[in-house]
Amino acid sequence: PADVKTLGRHTWTLLHTMAAYYPEKPEKKQQESMKTFFESFSEHYPCWFCKNDFKKDMAENPIDVTSRETLSEWLCRRHNKVNEKLGKKQFDCSKVFERWMTGPAN
């Protein structure tokens, strides 16, 4: 089985990449399905304490599916919340596209 760190690293890769490639001007249907995706994700993420905190954080900070920009920023902040909890460095959210879309894959 995957440990919490490996699972987390790979999951963030998927989530940030999804946000970076989300349309700049999404259709209503795309907005709804992205919202549904994150709701389901927070229900089924297979780390129960991560999931519980993430659900609470999502309830306090509702997802913003208006555009690629707003979704990526929202997700960056959610990830920074987890970073803070774990005593990790805060990520500069102005670098989110450089990291997850235009920059070299790491």
Interface residues toward ligand FAD, by CB under 6 A: 4-5, 8-9, 11-12, 16, 45, 49-50, 53-54, 76, 79-80, 82-83, 86, 88, 91, 96, 99
Which residue number, 12 or 37, has a Cβ lying nearer to ligand FAD?
Answer: 12
Q: Please enumerate in sequence order all residues whose Cβ is within 8 A of that of 67, keeping only pairs 6 or more positions apart, or say none.
A: 22, 23, 24, 25, 26
| CA 75 from centre of chain | 4
CB of 67 to ligand FAD, least distance (A): 17
Which residue number, 59 or 86, has a Cβ lying nearer to ligand FAD?
Answer: 86
Spatial separation of the C-alpha atoms in residues 99 and 25, rounded to whole Å? 21
